[in-house]
Amino acid sequence: MPKHPFICAIVSDNSAAEQIELCQHSISSPVRIITTESSKCIVATKRVIEEGAAVIVSRGSVWSTIKKAFPLVPTLQTPITCCDAIEFLTKAKQYDTNIGVVSFPSHIAKMVTVAPHLGVSLTVHQVNNPDDIEKGCYEMRDKGMKVLVGGGHAVQWAQKLGLHGVLHTVSADGVIQVLNEADRILNAIISERSKDARVRTMLNALKDGAISLNEQGKVLEYNLPAQKMFANGESTMKSIRTFLQDTGIIEAVQQQLTWSGESKKYEKKQYLCNIIPAYSNDIYCGASVIIQDASHIQSLEHKMRRELHAKGHVARYTLKDVVGHSAEMRSLVEHAELYANSPSSIFIYGESGTGKEIFAQGIHMASPFRNGPFVGINCTALPESLLESELFGYAEGAFTGAKKGGKVGLFEMAHNGTLFLDEIGEIPTSVQAKLLRVLEEKIVMRIGQERYIPINVRIVCATNKDLAELVRCGKFREDLFYRLNVLRLNLPPLRKHPEDIEELVDSFLSWLPQSLSLPRPLISPEALAVLKRYHFPGNIRELRNVIERLVVIAKGREIRESDISRVLLMNEAPCGNSHKKAVTVPPSPSAPADANRRTKQSMLRAQINSTILQVLEETQGNKAETARRLGISPATLWRRLKEIAAQEKK
pLDDT band at 576 (very low <50, low <70, confident <90, very high): very low
Residue 109 has pLDDT above 90, yes or no: no
pLDDT value, residue 368: 93
Q: List strands edge to edge, sheet with 209-213.
A: 219-222, 209-213, 283-293, 269-280, 259-266
Considering only residues 60 and 73, tell me which one the structure prediction assigns the higher pLDDT. 73
Q: Give me the amino acid identity at 345.
A: S
Closest CA to 9 of 25, 21, 26, 22: 21
Q: Which has the higher per-residue pLDDT, 413 or 1?
A: 413
Residue 176: phi and psi, rounded to 5, are: -60, -40
Total residue count of the chain as it appears in this document: 650
Residue 618: pLDDT over 90: no
Q: Is the pLDDT of residue 347 over 50?
A: yes
Find, among 86, 48, 43, 78, the residue nearest to 61 by Cα.
78
Question: What would the pLDDT profile of 301-331 be if each residue is shown by its tens digit?
Answer: 555 555 555 556 778 899 999 999 999 999 9
* Helix (H/G/I), strand (E/B), else coil: 138: helix
Bridge partner residues of 458 (DSSP): 418
The interaxial angle of helices 60-69 and 152-160, nearest 10 deg, is 120
Q: Grade residue 577 by pLDDT with cuts at 50, 70 and 90.
A: very low
Instruction: Provide the 10 A C-beta neighbour count for residue 234.
Output: 10
Query: For residue range 414-431, what is the model confidence (pLDDT) as tens digits?
Result: 888 999 999 999 888 888
CB atoms within 10 A of CB 506: 13
Rounded to whole angstroms, the Cα distance separating 635 from 289 reads 79
Mean of pLDDT values over 127-140 = 85
Stronger pLDDT, 617 or 2, i.e. the higher one: 617
Dist. CA 410–CA 373, nearest whole Å: 10
| Burial class of residue 31, CB neighbours in 10 A (0-12, 13-18, 19+) | buried
**Whole-number Å distance between alpha carbons of 89 and 105:** 16
Q: Which amino acid is at 607?
A: Q
Pairwise pLDDT comparison (486 vs 611), residue with the higher score: 486
- Please state, in angstroms and rounded to a whole number, the distance separating the CA atoms of residues 174 and 91: 19
Number of helices (H) and strands (E) in the chain: give both, helices first: 26, 22
CB 595 within 8 A of CB 518: no
What spatial distance separates the first Cα and last Cα of the chain, rounded to whole Å? 106
d(CA 34, CA 41): 9
Of residues 548 and 402, the one with the higher pLDDT is 548
How confident is the model over 198-213, as pLDDT tens digits?
888 888 888 889 999 9
Region of residue 250 (phi > 0: left; psi between -120 and 50: alpha; otherwise: beta): alpha
Cβ of 210: how many Cβ atoms within 10 Å?
20
Residue 6 has pLDDT above 60, yes or no: yes
Q: 66-75, 170-179, 242-251: which has the minimum mean pLDDT?
A: 170-179
User: What is the per-residue pLDDT for 581?
Assistant: 39
Q: What backbone torsions phi and psi does residue 267 show, to the nearest 5 degrees? A: 50, 50
pLDDT of res. 590: 46
Coil, strand or helix at 267 = coil
Q: Is the pTM here over 0.75, yes or no? A: no
Q: How far apart are CA 523 and CA 514, in angstroms?
A: 16
SS3 content of the chain, % helix, strand, coil (to 5): 50, 20, 30
Q: What angle do CA 383, 357, 455 make, to 5 degrees?
A: 70
Round to whole Å and give the CA distance between 43 and 5: 19
Mean pLDDT of the chain: 85
Express each pLDDT in 527-538 by its tens digit.
898 888 888 889
Residue 298 has pLDDT above 70, yes or no: no
Count CB atoms within 10 A of the CB of residue 315: 27
Residues 429-440, mean pLDDT to the nearest whole number: 89
Instruction: Give SS3 for 592.
Output: helix
- Is 573 a residue whose pLDDT tops 80? no
What's the mean pLDDT in 110-126? 89
Region 475-482 average pLDDT: 92
How crowded is the C-beta side of 207, counted as CA atoms within 13 Å? 9
**CA dist., res. 227 & res. 217, Å (int):** 18
The Cα–Cα gap between 289 and 297 comes to 17
What pLDDT is stored for residue 502 in this prediction?
94
Query: Which ranges of 94-150 would DSSP assign to H, the alpha helix?
Result: 105-118, 131-142
Quote the DSSP letter at residue 442: S
CA distance 556 to 516: 12
pLDDT value at residue 216: 93
